[in-house]
Chains A and B, each alone.
Chain A
Amino acid sequence: MIEIKDLTKTFNLNKQQRKKLGTRAGQIKAVDGINLTCRPGRIFSLLGPNGAGKTTTLRLIATILQPTSGSIRVAGHDTVKEGRAVRNKIGFLTGTTGLYDRLTPDELVTYFGRLNGMDATSLERRKRDLFHTLEIFSFSSKRIAELSTGMRQKVSIARTMIHDPEVVVFDEPTAGLDVITAEHIIDLIRQCKADGKTVIFSSHIMSEVDLLCDDLAIIHDGQILYNGEMSDFRSQMVNGSLTQEFIRIVNDAKTTTR
């Protein structure tokens, strides 16, 4: 379960950033008063164009960032007051997540299992299961630097899931991956749902959202433009395709704010 209440995050801008964004304001609201609830056993999709605030929201959930105001509860724990408990309950994976090249998959997954406070026996058992399902055994003692993108992605998945997190956060998980490799991620997301985990993932790829999600939020300029069940969204659509509907909603928002 993830419960987000009136969440706002502002960043201070330095001279360079102001120039880049073409603004004279000293601050920018990356997330602007959003309210969301992600329930267990359901897949929540955060959809939005680049710079909408998706990554910031997910980082706030993962306690990498601290909210300016508002609150987030993950699996019953407050992200500010109980950061450690929250991090123990979540798995976090992004499309650009790197791995430690000089370690082997075995060492890497063991490391994160230990950091999550797992005891040796349950860590070994869990690792064996994951390596088996993901077919990692054949390369588990090679240096990660020598692995292909597909292999690395599997290791990333094992790393994310080693402590059997209740809540899984995916930030554009398939960005930069080919369809075959992306398929591993899609399978993982489905499996998480089947296991009754709470899943939130961000994307700007409509087909992926269509394929997976139960609940949908469209975010633009840090604000929620749509929040509801995917089935309702489909029935309310003005345009024929999901992509066009997404573009319409974002463009409408742009014209009303201007």
Chain B
Amino acid sequence: MKDIFQIARKEFKDTIRDKRTLMAMIVVPLLLFPVIFSLVSGLQSESMEKAMSRELKIAVVGSDVPVELEKQLKAGNNIRLVSFSADTSYRRYVRGDSLDAAVVVPRDFNSKVHQMKTGNLQLYFQSTQEGVERRLTSLLDHYEAGLRKERLARLNISEETIQPVQVEKVDLATMQEKIGKYIGGFIPYIFIIFCFIGAMYPAIDLFTGEKERGTIETILTSPVRRLHILTGKMSVVVATGIISALLAIVGLFAGLNFNDTLPAEITKVTGDILQPGFILLLLSMLIPLTIFFAGILIPISIYAKSFKEAQSIITPINILIILPGIVGLLPGIELTLQTALIPVVNIALATKDIVAGTIDYGLLAAVYGSLILFAVLTVAFSVRYFGKETNILRA
């Protein structure tokens, strides 16, 4: 036990002095959320605002444009109308961005409207130009509403007559449930990835690095038993994975609290979800999962001759971790006895249910059972692998 502690203490010191590990383990998880939040909210609110308020150049095409239509369009915020005779060049101008949109009034439009028929208007726009369609549709709807009112008045019909039913919608789902459904799957997924990335560099550094630097023989000729060397090193690998996940939680908190451009509901719901009890529960699943990760990473790192070789084997495994995490985010995939047994997926699904308050405790037990079993299997494999002299000394 003393030996394991000595090994772990030294390896931990060694690890936190490594800039590469430090970046992956502390800096990236800590800053990821604050940076993403400020970028996304900054960009989005800015571009949305821009799209809704910038000046739109609109052509109204037709020989007989109703005055009321022009009036309604002009009433729109920051809209400039351009008159156009009935040729077809407006299409080219809209395509070429010198016009934002064109409203085409066919020759028979006015007569149809007067005859109480449906008059057709055409709106030419590019959906790639954010906000154009939305702004114009709302203006044209106003125009239509005006005409409808006129007709109803002329026919002496009240508006209620043509609206037999009005549905009042009352959503009883709490904000926590609505947002929790998405965030609940997303939060564990982020932490799972950090558990893996945080454990990855120390694993390579503590095993492959030992080979690369030519220190492996030195540690093997110390009196410490090989199992204890492995245990000490493995505990550091697991600890760094957990630490970087915890730092990601800290970063998430900081990002939520110091960014006032985020919608208030998201901030509130995420804060409500991230209660100490929930974090502890999540952690109790992440620990066996990280041990499982370490059990995969360590034999690879023992096998590899160089940092480069280790990385080239581990990179595709990264995808194997990320993909099942995404499966957990898909709607319609629920925690069942089958999915409870698949590592990574099971944590994402279980957390989703925990957040929504609909967790089945039998299935949660199956999740723990599976996580622990996988951890034990890979650790046992690591122990056997580290015990084989040809693996450790492969050069």
Q: For residue B5, which residue of chain A has the nearest CB?
A: A114
Task: From the candidates B6, B217, B224, name the one contacting A97 in the complex (CB within 8 A).
Answer: B217
Does A136 interact with chain B (Cβ within 8 Å)? no
Residues of B within 8 A of A159 (CB): 218
Complex alpha-carbon distance, A107 and B11, angstroms: 12
Stretch at the interface among B12-20, B69-77, B140-148, B286-294: B12-20
Question: B378-395: contact bitstring with A at CB < 8 Å (1 yes, 0 no)?
Answer: 000000000001100100
Does A242 interact with chain B (Cβ within 8 Å)? no
Residues of B within 8 A of A117 (CB): 223
Residues of A within 8 A of B13 (CB): 102-103, 107
Does B150 interact with chain A (Cβ within 8 Å)? no
Task: From the candidates A11, A85, A115, name the one contacting B222 in the complex (CB within 8 A).
Answer: A115
A11-B390, A114-B6 in contact; A96/B222 too (CB < 8 A)?
Answer: no
Considering the complex, which residues of chain B in the window 179-231 have a beta carbon less than 8 Å from any beta carbon of chain A?
213-215, 217-218, 220-225
Considering the complex, which residues of chain A in the window 57-99 have a beta carbon less than 8 Å from any beta carbon of chain B?
59, 62-66, 84-85, 87-88, 90, 92, 94, 96-99
Does A137 interact with chain B (Cβ within 8 Å)? no
Give, as a whole number of angstroms, the nearest-CB distance from A217 to chain B.
21
Give, as a whole number of angstroms, the nearest-CB distance from B24 to chain A.
16
CB pair A102 B215 closer than 8 Å: no
Does B360 interact with chain A (Cβ within 8 Å)? no
Interface size counted on chain A using CB atoms at 8 A: 32
Does B309 interact with chain A (Cβ within 8 Å)? no
Does A116 interact with chain B (Cβ within 8 Å)? yes
CB pair A64 B220 closer than 8 Å: yes
Give, as a whole number of angstroms, the nearest-CB distance from A168 to chain B.
11
Residues of A at the B interface (CB closer than 8 Å) are 11-12, 59, 62-66, 84-85, 87-88, 90, 92, 94, 96-103, 107, 111-112, 114-117, 143, 159
A-B contact pairs, 25 of them (CB 8 A): A11-B390, A62-B217, A62-B221, A63-B220, A64-B217, A64-B393, A65-B389, A66-B389, A84-B223, A84-B225, A87-B221, A92-B218, A92-B221, A96-B214, A99-B213, A100-B14, A100-B215, A102-B13, A102-B14, A102-B17, A102-B18, A107-B13, A116-B222, A143-B17, A159-B218
Residues of B at the A interface (CB closer than 8 Å) are 3, 6-7, 10, 13-14, 17-18, 213-215, 217-218, 220-225, 389-390, 393
